[in-house]
Chain A
């Protein structure tokens, strides 16, 4: 299989291999913190931090780690970066940290990060792994922002805390609760499937 260009490595994370809409990974955090755009954005950035740094690290030391202990080592590396992200948030952004709660530490079991470490960073150069991580992070964050924008808009009538829809709008509180999360994500993924299928049909027509 021909090597992807660096540009392609980056772009794939945005759509073709989007962690949320295509790979269906990391859904625990996606559903839990997307009730407001600021929360979704913060989570996206936290995941980006952990994903980029751990992919980089794993890629840098991939040649000296024996195969049998690689998963354990990756876990330690990822857990460390998650702890750093969590501590930093608690120190410098306390209200965000409270809003995201246990879901920042839960990034450690977010399949995206271990998945990328195992599937990509452990077999590619640091440069490529970095680009891959950047693309995945961006794709993930965009998905989170879209999801939280819909939920916040319909659930509170605001975006980023600012009222957008007028007073005539009676917020659909259900959007802020678990059912709304599940439903919105399901519809978004279906939309992604539909768009992709139609695009593919057009390409091969």
Chain B
């Protein structure tokens, strides 16, 4: 076979074989990968809406998603918002749970962060940061308390700052505030999918 023809044949052959092989690998793995993603979100949602057994995505746009969490009987337990905020080093992706009436925060969970280990990374820590968000009043402006106080001394909309990680703490605060405001707005505009069929 002449050289140019051989070049084309070999290269095309190798590429086609590779593509076919990869398509096969894709078929083998894609379900598992999708399931992994699904499980991760569901585990996180049941963390931020305690008692939730199932969830449904009711709103989505780039960098902002809302899920509705229900118990075994299908009763709406609360809403979870997944959103992004700009942190110290890179973006922080968090999930915040609110109760069904949108009056109180249930819980907060950090999905992804690249903050400074030992400082900003403490936003994932239950004891120093996350626990203070539980039960805060969603209809008051959330604020950071610096220096950190005991849980009983915090106001109804106050959360503790992490010592030495003001920027990371503020990033989470602004992200959560914006997300919850958005959630309330979407709810009042009736734009959350499947509205009115559960929360009676």
Contact = CB atoms under 8 A, between A and B. Distances in A.
Question: Interface size bucket, B side?
Answer: 20 to 34
B22 A80 contact: yes
A90 B18 contact: no
Interface in A18-70: 61, 64-66, 68-69
A76 B86 CA distance: 37
Given A65-B10, A66-B6, A77-B14, A173 B29 contact: no
Contacts of B32: 91-92
Contacts of A98: 112
A64 B26 CA distance: 28
Nearest to A65: B10
B7 A68 contact: yes
Contacts of A84: 21-22, 25
Nearest to B18: A80
Question: Interface size bucket, A side?
Answer: 20 to 34
B186 interface: no
A105 interface: no
Contacts of A77: 14, 18
A134 B26 CA distance: 27
B118 A88 contact: no
Contacts of A76: 11, 14-15, 18
B7 A91 contact: no
B119 interface: yes
A173 B118 contact: yes
A66 B1 CA distance: 11
Interface of B: 3, 6-7, 10-11, 14-15, 18, 21-22, 25-26, 28-29, 32-33, 36, 40, 112, 116-119
Interface of A: 61, 64-66, 68-69, 72-73, 76-77, 79-80, 83-84, 87-88, 90-92, 94, 98, 155-156, 171, 173, 176-177
6 contacts: A66-B3, A66-B7, A72-B11, A76-B18, A80-B18, A94-B40
